[in-house]
Copies of this chain bind each other. A is one copy, B any other.
């Protein structure tokens, strides 16, 4: 039923033209074999291939098909490029606590794969405000900021009060009890008092990277072709 010879997947090979990025493989619910076959099919037609929430087993299956594929175990991302994308602009990825690291890593690794310069700042939660205040310069010069936090989810609001740049709030499931697996952080971020914050799904580092990359590329493109955007 699908034109690529896979009975379980209808690949969307034109997505790169339409949206600036090829289809990405979301691994949960797919077998390692399915992941490897879809990866090979994407790599056949696109200059890059990304698989998120990937296990080491999935990576080994992909590697058998695409020997140049790489794997970041913290970010759980398998990546393959025909040739590396040039990096543009500037995205800051800021996280509240060490436990938020894997989600921040998913955002950072995906942003790098998508051709963005990335700066990372970790463990600057609001329990010690001086930690985030020490990075004001970075927050003001990045084109967009990805702010990752669990528990009270207060970091993006604090950052939005310190900068004029868009803040992509990324709640994590770090916490327990009435954090309800990240719901508390999600709601706090949706209700952030300062303007300039929008929110992605819980633990969705990749989703934060997608919109941050779109913003950063829009800015970078304007810098290259200023007549169209200003």
Residues of B within 8 Å of A127, CB to CB, are 12, 15, 23, 157, 160-161, 193-194
Q: Across the interface, do A18 and B223 meet the contact criterion of CB distance under 8 Å?
A: no
CB of A88 within 8 Å of the partner chain? yes
Q: Say yes or no for A81: interface residue by CB 8 A criterion.
A: no
In-complex Cβ contact of A184 among B181, B190, B204 (8 A): B190
Complex contact A152–B143 (CB within 8 A): no
Choice from B100, B123, B223 contacting A222 with Cβ under 8 Å: B223
Asked if A75 is at the interface of the complex by the 8 Å CB criterion, the answer is: no
Cα A223 to Cα B20 with chains together (Å): 20
Chain B residues, CB < 8 A from A229:
89-90, 143, 219-220, 222-223
**Contact residues, A198-220 vs B (CB, 8 A):** 198-204, 206-211, 214-215, 217-220
Contact B128 A14 (CB under 8 A): yes
Count of interface residues, chain A, beta-carbon cutoff 8 Å? 119
Tell me if B201 and A176 are in contact (CB < 8 A): yes
CB-CB under 8 A from A178, the residues of chain B are 182-183, 186-187, 190-191, 201-202
Looking at the assembled complex, report how far the CB atom of A123 sits from the nearest CB atom of chain B, in whole angstroms: 4
Stretch in contact with the other chain, from A54-62, A63-71, A163-171 = A163-171
Q: Is A197 an interface residue, CB under 8 A from the partner?
A: yes
Say whether A84 faces chain B, with CB atoms less than 8 Å apart. Answer: no
Q: How far is the CA of A28 from the CA of B226 in the complex (A)?
A: 41
- Least CB distance, A155 to chain B, in whole angstroms: 9
Task: Report the separation of the CA atoms of residues A7 and B102 in the bound assembly, to the nearest whole angstrom.
Answer: 13
Known pairs A12-B130, A26-B99; list 11 more (Cβ under 8 Å). Answer: A10-B131, A96-B193, A97-B193, A126-B158, A127-B194, A129-B162, A152-B157, A152-B188, A152-B189, A178-B187, A198-B208
CA distance A13 to B137 in the complex (A): 21
Would you mind naming 17 contact pairs between A and B with Cβ atoms under 8 Å apart?
A: A1-B122, A2-B122, A10-B123, A12-B130, A28-B176, A30-B98, A89-B230, A127-B160, A153-B191, A164-B214, A168-B198, A169-B198, A177-B191, A178-B186, A184-B187, A197-B211, A219-B222
Q: Is the CB of B177 within 8 A of A201?
A: yes
